[in-house]
Amino acid sequence: MVQESLKLTKTEEYLRQLIGKWSAGVTMRTSAGKVVAGWGEMCAKETEWGINCGIDGSIEGYEDFYQNDHWTFDPVDDTVHLVRLSSEGQLHDHAGRYRGNSTLELYWRGAFEDQEQEEYIIVKWRNRDQFDIKEKSYSMDKLLLTTDYAFKRRIS
């Protein structure tokens, strides 16, 4: 019991580190090898049900984007959920667990535009004020897009 309690506390501690204002560098790589860069800003607040994050961003050659991410922890099955609503109206529930002390691995599988898709997300904390996210999107086992975010806490 004590060990389960510590695990819950550690997971919630990592999720609570998201609270605050963040700036992010963004790099996207398409399956055709095109690389584009951009930026983003995130504001994360604790809610009764978890951590809610609004992300505004811009990537060269693409329309500006907004997404809403809601992070929760299910202690029954020791799973973190990232429920994401994108600018395109896509809703995905990525689920996963912490691997080691500072790396979270999440996965989603579903359909978009009548095609099966999968997304893998790895969140890696560098320290309390910096973390990276790597997202990989696949369709029919083919890599479509890799997006790297480097978040840094904004000190106000």
Looking at residue 43, which CATH number applies to its domain?
2.40.128.20
Residue 42 has pLDDT above 80, yes or no: yes
pTM > 0.75: yes or no:
yes
CA-to-CA dists, residue 40 to 56, 76, 104, 108, 141, angstroms: 6, 34, 21, 23, 29
Residue 126 has pLDDT above 90, yes or no: yes
Beta-carbon-side half-sphere exposure of residue 22 (alpha carbons within 13 Å): 27
DSSP-assigned letters across all residues of 8-71? HHHHHHHHHTT-EEEEEEEEEEETT--EEEEEEEEEEEEETTEEEEEEEEEETTS--EEEEEEE
pLDDT 10s digits, 71-118: 999 988 889 999 999 877 889 999 999 887 789 999 999 987 788 999
Length of the chain measured in residues: 156
pLDDT confidence tier of residue 3, bands split at 50, 70 and 90: very low
Mean pLDDT of 32-55: 94
Number of domains, the chain: 1
Residue 8 has pLDDT above 70, yes or no: no
pLDDT score at 62: 85
Residue 5 has pLDDT above 90, yes or no: no
Residue 109 CA to residue 119 CA, distance in Å, equals: 6
Residue 135 has pLDDT above 60, yes or no: yes
Token pair 């860069």 is at which residue? 37
Q: Which residue has the higher pLDDT, 24 or 76?
A: 24
Strand partners, 122: 105, 134
Domain that holds residue 146: 2-153
Q: Indicate the average pLDDT of the chain.
A: 89
Residue 2 has pLDDT above 70, yes or no: no
pLDDT score at 75: 85
Residue 59 has pLDDT above 80, yes or no: yes
**What is the four-CA torsion angle of 88, 148, 63, 143, rounded to 10 degrees?**
-60
Residue 41 CA to residue 25 CA, distance in Å, equals: 9
